[in-house]
Structure 1
Amino acid sequence: MFLVIVVAVIALLAGLAANRWLRPRLLSEDDDSGMAVKDLVGPLLTLTVLLLAFVLVTANGSYGKAEVASRGEAKALDQLVEIAEYAPAAQRARIQADAVCYARAVRAREWPAMSDGNGSPAPSVWSTDVRKTFRTLQDKPVFGMLVAADNKRSDEREERLTQASASIPSAIFWFLLATLFITVVALGVCLPRKNNRGQIITLTVITALLTMMLVIIRDVDRPFGGIIDVAPTAISEVERQATRDFLAHHPASELPCDLNGIRRTT
C-alpha cells in the first residue's frame, strides 16, 4: 500500500515538473493553452480505468470465495460436533474436544499466518486426531456421517488456504503500477503552464482516485490481511458453542489444548 502511494505521488510530481520544464522545449511558443480539464479524461485514462476495474473484479471474486469458504468450514465443523452426539460416549468426547482445539488452532494460529498467504500445521494436528477416532467407529451407523462432515471441513479449509494466496500475479500488479505512473505523467505534461489551477486540482483528484483503486485491489486481493479482511467470526462462534457443549457434558474433563489450540503437555 505504501509503495502504491509513493509511486503515485512521484508520478504526479514528475508530470507537473515535465509540464513546467519539458513542455516549453516541445513547443515553439510560450502558450497559455493546453488540454482542457474535460480533455484529461482521454484514451489513456480510459484504458487505465478499465484495467483497474477488471483486476478489481478478479480480486473481489477471490475475496468472496475466501469468505464463503471460511463460513463453510465453520458450518462443517459445527455439523461434525453435532453428529458426534450419536457416537459412543468415549468417542463423542474425544471428537468434540478435538473440534474445539481445531477451531482454536484455526483462529489463533492459522488466521494470522494467512495474512502472508501461508497456512499453519496446528489445525492438522487435531484433524488427524479426529480421523484416528473415526477408525474405532467403522462398524457404527454414525461413521459415514462423521466422515462426510469431516471431508466437507477439509475441502473448505483447502479452499480457504487457496484464497489466502494472492490471486493477482505480481507481474500484473507491477504492470498496473507502471500504467498508473505513465498515465499521471502524461496528463501532467499536457496541462497548460499558466492559468492551470483547475487542471492541477482535477489531475490531483484523478491521481488520488486511481491510487485508491489500486490500493483497494491490493488489499482485497489479500482477504485475510489488510484493512478489508475476512475475520474469523464464524469459526470463533463454533469454538464458543463447542466449548460450552463439551464443558456441559464433561464438567470434570479438561480440553487437551490451550486457548491457542496448542496441545497441552502431560
Structure 2
Amino acid sequence: MEQVVEMLAVGMICALLTAAAVIAWRRFHPVADEEESGEEVAEYMSMMIALLYALLLGLALVSVWDLRDRSQRHTAAEAGALHQMTVLAEGMPPAQRERIDALAESYAAHVVQEEWPRLADRNGLGERGWFPLRQLRAAAAAPPDATPAQEVTALELLAQLGALDDARRGREADAQETLSPALWSGIVIGAILSICILFFFRIGRSPSQLVMAMGMVGLTVFLGLLIHHLASPFGEVMGVSPDPFTRYFPKSAGV
C-alpha cells in the first residue's frame, strides 16, 4: 500500500509541474489569431495519440501482469509439490520419511532465504538449489525391501519431484523475463508526445483543461511506475512473495 501511495504522489507532483509549465508556456507564448484555424487538426491529432498510447499502455499492463501471474503459479506449484512429497513420505519407512522431511525443509529454507533475494536482483537461482533436489530424488527411491504400497508411494514421490523440478525451472525463466524494450520505447515516446500536446496544441487555456491535463500526466506517470514494478515479477514492491513456501514450511522463514 505504501508503494501505491508513493506512485500516486509522484504522479501528482509530475502533474503539478506540468500544469506550472503549461501556464508559463501560455503566458510567454501567446496564441496568435491565425492559429485558431488549426484547432480541429490539433484536437484530432491529440485524440489519436491518446488512443494509441492507451492501447500501448494496456498491452504493456497485460504483458507484465501475465508475467507476474505466471510466476505466482510456478511458485505455488513448486511449494505444493514439495509439501506433497512430505505428505507421501508418511507411507515410507521412518528413517526414509525423516530424511525426506529434512531435505524438504532444507530446500524450502534455501529458496526463501537465499534464492528470493537473488530473484529480486535478477541474478538467477544459482547451482546450490539443485543439489538438495538430487538428494531428494535419491531419498525418494523405494528401499530394497519395499512393500507394494511403498513402491507405489515411491513412484508418486518421483512424480511430485518432477512437477517440482518443472515449476522451479519455470520460476527461473520468469525471473529472467521482462517487458520488451520495444514496448518500453513506445511507452516513453508516447509519454513525451502526450506531454508535448499540452504545449503545442494549445491545451490548458481554461481551468478545466488544465485539470484534465494534470490528471492525464499524473495517471500516465502512475501507470508507468506500475508497469515498471510489475515487470520485476519477484521484486520487492509488487513482486511474488515466497509465502507458499513459508506457509507449508514455517521454519524456512528463518524467524
Counterpart contact for 2:75–2:168, Cα < 8 Å: yes
Amino acid at match of 2:201: C
Does the alignment pair 1:217 with 2:217?
no
By how many angstroms is 1:87 displaced? Answer: 2.0
Q: Tell me, in whole angstroms, the C-alpha distance in 1 between the residues paired with 2:158 and 2:103.
A: 15
Structure holding more helix per residue? 2
Change (3 A) 1:13 1:185: farther
Does the alignment pair 1:182 with 2:187?
no
Counterpart contact for 1:220–1:229, Cα < 8 Å: yes
SS at match of 1:158: helix
By how many angstroms is 1:258 displaced? Answer: 11
Residue 132 of structure 1 is aligned with which of 138, 146, 160? 138
Q: Tell me, in whole angstroms, the C-alpha distance in 2 between the residues paired with 1:258 and 1:212.
A: 32
Residue 115 of structure 1 is aligned with which of 112, 120, 138? 120
Give the aligned partner of residue 201 of structure 1.
211
Counterpart contact for 1:191–1:199, Cα < 8 Å: no
Does the alignment pair 1:144 with 2:141?
no
Does the alignment pair 1:70 with 2:75?
yes
Counterpart contact for 1:191–1:200, Cα < 8 Å: no
Counterpart contact for 2:112–2:253, Cα < 8 Å: no
Q: TM-score scaled to structure 1, two decimals?
A: 0.75
SS at match of 2:49: helix
SS at match of 2:52: helix
Superposed, which structure 2 residues align to 1:1-266 within 5 Å?
9=14, 12=18, 16=22, 24=31, 27=32, 29=34, 42-121=47-126, 122-135=128-141, 137=143, 140=146, 141=151, 142-191=153-202, 195-240=205-250, 259=254
Identity of aligned residues (%): 22
Q: Tell me, in whole angstroms, the C-alpha distance in 1 between the residues paired with 2:144 and 2:178.
A: 40
- List alignment gaps of at least 5 residues for structure 2: none
**Higher mean Cα deviation, 133-142 or 144-153?**
133-142
Q: Tell me, in whole angstroms, the C-alpha distance in 1 between the residues paired with 2:94 and 2:234.
A: 37
Amino acid at match of 1:124: W
SS at match of 2:249: helix
| Aligned structure 1 segments of 4 or more residues deviating by more than 4 angstroms | 8-11, 17-24, 27-31, 38-41, 257-260
Amino acid at match of 1:109: E
**Higher mean Cα deviation, 15-24 or 78-87?**
15-24
SS at match of 2:241: coil
By how many angstroms is 1:91 displaced? Answer: 2.1
Per-residue deviation, residues 30-49 of structure 1 (Å, max 9, x unmatched) = 87x968xx989611111101
Counterpart contact for 2:121–2:235, Cα < 8 Å: yes
By how many angstroms is 1:104 displaced? Answer: 0.6
Q: CA RMSD in A?
A: 3.5
Counterpart contact for 1:12–1:188, Cα < 8 Å: no
Q: TM-score scaled to structure 2, two decimals?
A: 0.78
**Higher mean Cα deviation, 179-188 or 206-215?**
179-188
Per-residue deviation, residues 109-156 of structure 1 (Å, max 9, x unmatched) = 111111122333342231122123245647740321111011111111
Amino acid at match of 2:225: V
- List alignment gaps of at least 5 residues for structure 1: 244-256, 261-266
Change (3 A) 1:14 1:73: same
Counterpart contact for 1:19–1:190, Cα < 8 Å: no
Amino acid at match of 2:101: Q
SS at match of 1:224: coil
Q: Tell me, in whole angstroms, the C-alpha distance in 2 between the residues paired with 1:215 and 1:138.
A: 58
Q: Tell me, in whole angstroms, the C-alpha distance in 1 between the residues paired with 2:72 and 2:137.
A: 26
Per-residue deviation, residues 205-225 of structure 1 (Å, max 9, x unmatched) = 101111111211111121211
